[in-house]
Structure 1
Amino acid sequence: MLGFRESKWSFNTSATGSLSVEVLAASGGTIVLNDPDQKEHEFTYGTFGIGLGIGFKLPKIRLAKLHLPEISMPTIAGRDIGGSVATRDFPSTGSVFMTRGFQGDELSARDFRGGVLLLDASAGVFEVAGGTLMLLGLNQAMLISGLLASPGNFVLSSALSSARAGIVTYGRSAALQAGAGTSFQIGAMT
């Protein structure tokens, strides 16, 4: 359906932040890409959606006669929370693709703007490794109306087919996390 083709654009760096409360997830940040002429372009995005995770039980630490308390993840009003942050200095890499929805020979900066569908997965204890797939340049009206209708419908399929670009990234972040999780989010990139 998406038919990825490699683009001459290249991933430079990113800075991201995310927050989750129970199954609700939100993230945002900046992605820096280099166009085929190596000129930097900075894009900002924000997304929200749902996520699922599993926690790792952290052991109690005992040193000689010193007993440290058991470490546990914080809660807000009894709800599990998590979050992560990565500045541009954190290690990250990525690839940029054109999708079947893009009919030209090469992407331009405007092709990255518009609706975003983000699939994310990460795992770790305080230092987290993760990967993200972003579909970019989606028709925002079709994306929202497709998600509000029944799953597997024609409108959502058409919205996904309208994606012009894709970015796959891998990187590390500092996180309020002890476990593994994944999320599905929608939003916009400017």
Structure 2
Amino acid sequence: MAPEQRRMQLIEAAIGLYGTRPYEQVSIDDIAAAADVSRALFYRYFSSPAEIYVAALRHAADSLIARFAAPADGSLLEQLRSLIGEFISFAEGHAAAFVALLRGGSVVATAETGAVVDDVRRHAVAEILARTGVEHPSPLGLLTLNCWTAVVEGTTLTWLQERTLPREDLENWLVDQLLAMVTATANYDKETAKVLHQVVRPL
């Protein structure tokens, strides 16, 4: 197996484990066993558990970002629901690691992992702006979207831990939250709100 293939094999094995257990509960031996390689071979590609975790998170985040950018049919509102669905699917697929990372205070939270999460946030906001045709958002318009992404993260984090709401209801509620925030922004930022209100038209 080529070195890059072997490295990816280890990353995929790690992603599978991080999807069911917190970072602190996944050892090098666990990853090596899941990838069916020796511990010594693991160290040919990664120097520590922290290094492979960052690589696994980066790979998973890149996959999510690629799904954000995939062509979507339907109205802007339907596309927004699709973006939310992709994010929640990602969070569910990496539930234990996602909870540990966003909860804060975990040993898994570092400057590197924070940078990966910030990258996902930036791409999510950029994708919404691109689909609404906004090339130069105003400060208040950008603040609206950044605040909404924080709502999505925090709500998804709570939902993963409690599961007291059907997923479909969660997705619809998050869409409604953005519409409410855009409506509030319209009172102060007419031009940006006018473009963002394209999302509201289907209603």
TM-score by length of 1: 0.21
Q: Which has the higher contact order (CA 8 A, sep 6+)?
A: 1
Bigger share in strand: 1
TM-score by length of 2: 0.20
